Amino acid sequence: MKSLAIIGGGSWGTALAIVLAPRFARTRLWIFEPDLARRVRATRVNDTYLPSREIPSNVDVTSDLEIALTDPDVVLSVVPSHLVRPVYERMLPFLRESMLFVSATKGLENGTLLQMSAVIRQVVRQSFDPRVAVISGPTFAGEVARLDPTALVVASDDQALGTAIQSAFSGPTFRLYTSLDTIGVEIGGSIKNVVAIGAGVLEGMGLGHNATAALITRGLAEMTRLAVAMGGRSSTLAGLAGLGDLVLTCTGDLSRNRNVGIELAKGRKLAEIVGSMRMVAEGVKTTNAAKELAGRHGVDMPITEQMHQILNLGILPGEAVRRLMVRSLKGE
């Protein structure tokens, strides 16, 4: 594989461009905002989403999708979950059957409740049947761009595709493990953001490490129940894309979803919090889809339910914690 197109120039897309550029002869990074794309081309720094990290010289930056999608071997999409469908609809005229598709977006599509790989397939199948993989795991963009050691998972039901992406993407600071369990990897990467909002609520309320440890553990149980009900494997949720990403997002200061929870516990309104953020906190949108998926599959997800109540119905964080603690007693 010689060429890579990265669709999405936020912090994660930019970090992936930095870490993957040495693995490809040519990398193109598509940034939605033309003004930002021009600045990045001139300065080699994404001053809006990942300042102070230089983008390698072999990364061509553009805001033109046709240019970005000129004969890449791999198309790596890193746009927010609610934009995956409209962006792929725009991309469709420029896509070719020879391209390999990788999704690095963690989230679920509201309304359809589809995982990102399914959204991509649904759109691209209007032209041809695509080969799709997903990558997920415990990854803060700033640390990836700093070339700190990072491990994650590439999942696809096409084993040859997963192995090919593993080989193409892995390097001295970026290690990929393969998985055939796309469902488990994508559900883990989605639901962990919902639980992380809860972890932020606990932090904002000053409730200490006991409460956070309990939330992480029971959040993992929720993620696992849902993934298994949808056809995923429980072992996947015990790995990097499940427990690993959950711990990072629930405890790391760089977690956007955790910070949403902290601000909610301080009494700020959700609209004000989200409006003040440059980047998307995927857990806010995913909570609705997760609640609907739980109902569809008959899965008990009390943490997700209480996060939905806080985000959409305005119940106070303290009341949500009380409801979780006084639920009927049961075995672990």
Instruction: Select from 320, 322, 193, 192 the least CA-distant residue to 265.
Output: 320
Residue with tokens 């096409």, as numbered in its chain: 158
Q: Spell 90-118 as b/e; 16+ CB within 10 A means b.
A: ebeebbeeebbbbbbbbbbbeeeebbbbb
- Which tokens go with 253? 């200061």
Longest dimension (CA), the chain: 60
**Residue 330 appears among annotated catalytic residues:** no
Amino acid letter, 79 = V
- Which tokens go with 256? 């956007």
The CA-atom distances, in angstroms, between 2 and each of 26, 29, 99, 167, 168 are: 7, 15, 12, 12, 9
Catalytic residue (one of 192, 266, 269, 330)? 192
Q: Spell 250-273 as b/e; 16+ CB within 10 A means b.
A: bbeeebbbbbbbbbbbeeeebeeb
The CA-atom distances, in angstroms, between 179 and each of 264, 272, 288, 297 are: 36, 39, 27, 23
Catalytic residues: 192
